[in-house]
């Protein structure tokens, strides 16, 4: 039976006489003393941690559980690991050094665990696979390729390039949706202010006049009643819709349906297609250049493309390539890949420069998506103005039509 662990606080000195202090969980003070010795520290005091020290440690652990590892941190770690391996430093020393230097506690804890797993004789890729929240399928699969090929440092550099490209792609999508989100939020706030402070005053006047109210006014009164008296039901309905959407999207057929609709959206559908095809081509090219077998490339790319419909089509292409067909043939038969892309892939296959041609395809789609994002404001602005103008017109009719009716009665 495992011994219960106790939290101890310690004060110790390093080789230069500097004092270090902290806390450490162990079954006994001697366990902390042994750990300090391994760290090259001379213990001064080891005692059971106070109530406040224990509370602070638990709070830190809870915070670390929810701490995120930023993409930038992953890129820096991957490049540092590649550089250290290329310099001839033993893998275990590389992992321990990066774990000790990492300022992110979640990443550091994962790296210490990975180092311990490797030290016990485990494969590096299997060690990383133990932390799927941090290292996805693409990361682990590329590590396996590096282990088999003996080019781990080169593969890690390529992996860092891919992570940087994914970050840039994510920024592109955020830029594309930032303006519509801000405009939509501003519209909702404006409507809420009108419904809270402006509309009720007019509705009070109309309610006291026993005249027959026009349809827009009756609709506005109904909206105001819901907004003020039944807002909690509206909020509950919104929460139910969000949960229903998430549940439906978690189902394979639900995700396929929603992702298919995303690709058919006005303006955004074409943009998502270009971004995904650019991502597919860029990763395909980088992996082929790194010496990754084509069928393995398909497995990695499927995990990176963030659309169920495109994933399904890529899997279909892979099946046909496994049967010995050229890459361009099932791509053409699919109907979802752009004609220009298929033609360039076919040209790359004929000339034996598929990796280079895929790079050109990626450059083309990246340029197209950047152009679309740059012009997104001019494309979306008229639509948003139309929606806002329609609401303002409805509001004006709902408020002023009763006045016009009353004025005509007085005349």
Per-residue pLDDT tens listing for the chain (411 residues)? 445 567 888 888 888 788 888 787 777 888 888 878 877 788 888 888 877 777 766 666 555 555 578 888 999 999 999 999 999 999 989 998 898 888 888 888 888 888 888 888 888 988 898 888 888 877 888 888 888 778 888 889 888 888 888 788 778 777 777 777 777 788 778 777 877 777 777 777 766 666 677 888 888 888 878 777 887 888 898 899 999 999 999 998 999 999 999 998 887 888 889 888 988 898 888 888 877 788 888 888 887 788 899 999 999 999 999 999 999 999 999 889 999 999 999 999 999 889 889 999 989 998 888 888 777 767 777 777 788 788 888 888 887 887 776 666 555
CA distance 16 to 313: 62
Structure confidence at residue 151 (pLDDT): 82
Structure confidence at residue 61 (pLDDT): 59
Structure confidence at residue 2 (pLDDT): 42
Structure confidence at residue 1 (pLDDT): 40
Structure confidence at residue 370 (pLDDT): 82
Burial of 296 (0-12, 13-18, 19+ CB in 10 A): middle
The CATH architecture one would assign to domain 214-410 is Up-down Bundle (1.20)
């Amino acid at each position: 039976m495992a011994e219960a662990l106790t939290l101890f606080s310690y004060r110790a000195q390093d080789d230069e006489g500097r004092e270090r202090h902290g806390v450490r969980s162990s079954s006994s003070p001697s366990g902390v003393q042994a750990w300090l010795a391994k760290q090259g520290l001379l213990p001064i005091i080891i005692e059971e941690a106070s109530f406040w020290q224990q509370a602070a440690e638990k709070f830190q652990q809870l915070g670390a559980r929810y701490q995120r590892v930023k993409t930038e941190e992953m890129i820096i770690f991957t490049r540092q690991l590649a550089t250290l391996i290329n310099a001839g430093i033993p893998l275990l020393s590389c992992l321990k050094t990066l774990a000790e230097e990492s300022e992110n506690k979640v990443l550091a804890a994962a790296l210490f665990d990975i180092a311990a797993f490797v030290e016990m004789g485990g494969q590096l890729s299997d060690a990383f696979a133990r932390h799927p929240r941090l290292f996805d399928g693409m990361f682990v699969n590329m590590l396996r390729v590096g282990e088999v090929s003996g080019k781990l440092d080169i593969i890690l550099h390529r992996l860092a390039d891919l992570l940087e490209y994914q970050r840039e792609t994510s920024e592109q999508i955020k830029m594309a949706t930032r303006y519509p989100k801000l405009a939509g939020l501003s519209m909702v706030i404006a409507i809420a202010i009108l419904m809270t402070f402006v509309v009720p005053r007019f509705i009070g006047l109309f309610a006291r006049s026993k005249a027959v109210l026009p349809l827009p006014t009756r609709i506005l009164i109904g909206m105001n009643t819901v907004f003020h008296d039944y807002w909690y039901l509206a909020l509950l309905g919104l929460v139910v819709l969000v949960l229903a959407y998430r549940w439906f999207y978690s189902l394979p057929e639900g995700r396929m349906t929603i992702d298919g609709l995303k690709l058919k959206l006005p303006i955004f559908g074409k943009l998502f297609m270009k971004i995904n095809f650019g991502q597919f081509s860029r990763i395909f090219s980088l992996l082929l250049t790194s010496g990754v077998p084509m069928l393995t490339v398909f497995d990695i790319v499927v995990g990176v493309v963030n659309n169920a419909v495109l994933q399904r089509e890529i899997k279909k292409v892979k099946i046909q390539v496994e049967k010995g067909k050229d890459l361009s043939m099932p791509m053409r038969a699919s109907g979802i890949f752009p004609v220009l892309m298929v033609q360039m892939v076919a040209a790359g296959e004929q000339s034996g420069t598929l990796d280079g041609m895929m790079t050109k395809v990626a450059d083309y789609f990246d340029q197209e998506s950047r152009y679309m994002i740059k012009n997104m404001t001019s494309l979306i602005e008229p639509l948003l103005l139309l929606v806002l103008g329609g609401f303002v017109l409805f509001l004006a009719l709902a408020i002023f039509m009763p006045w016009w009716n009353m004025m005509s009665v007085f005349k």
